[in-house]
Amino acid sequence: MCCRYVLLKDHLLEIFRALGLEPPANFSSRYNLSPGQVVPAIRTGASGAPAAAALNWGLLPAWSRLGGQRRPNARAETLASKPSFREAFRTRRCLLPASGFYEWEVRGKARLPWLFRRPDSRPFCLAALWEGRRMPDGSEFETCAIVTTAPNALMRPIHDRMAVVLAPEQFGRWLDPGANPQDLAPLMEPAPEGGLSAMRVGTRVNRTSVDDEACLLPPEPGTEAGPQFSLEFA
């Protein structure tokens, strides 16, 4: 699963400008984005070109009742068959720009957070789906879910799922409204070895109320259980 991620302002601007989009006004770097919050996204607009959007993280299927369960993640293996996601997978795919994402290692009663990002510190996008529904007041409520897949060798010792990470050359294919969903399976494979690095960070990121640059720091020596080291596969 993926339930928190990082998005630095410079990285958001880089991705939006590369796609010819106007960046969101007054966006500040976010170090602990969590489900339930509004996140910047890119989807296919009415003209067929990429368009910016602001989506609520936690997909609410159009057919479900208001106030029903929202789904922050969608398993790649069942996107085409699960009622909650199959229509969105067919027609409403989107990208969530990211600088890194967190996963938690469970060790006894401890939940130890790890930060995953590119070794070169460049931005990427997370594969996602979006859904919209009309609210009683006439407004449109738009939500999204991050697609997850099996872990790669780097993630496997820490967690049994990982977010689907897309490189720039894959953005257009994921957004293409004419793409056959069956042909998108290669995009939803685990990130290749060497594509990500992992670093233990402090447990302050466990609290959704904490969102500052210190979320990216390793644990202070002697303050937390667990190893304090980085992993990187060449």
Q: Which two tokens stand for residue 160?
A: 């049994």
Of 131, 114, 69, 134, which is closest to residue 230 (Cα–Cα)? 114
Query: Which H or E run includes 13?
Result: helix 9-18
**Per the residue annotation, which of 2, 94, 144, 215 is the catalytic one?**
2
Active site residue 103: yes
Contact (CB, 8 A) for 218 and 199? yes
Contact (CB, 8 A) for 10 and 30? no
Active site residue 22: no
Cα–Cα distances (Å) from 86 to 10, 45, 79, 114, in that order, read: 34, 20, 5, 31
**Per the residue annotation, which of 3, 94, 103, 142 is the catalytic one?**
103
Residues serving a catalytic function are 2, 103
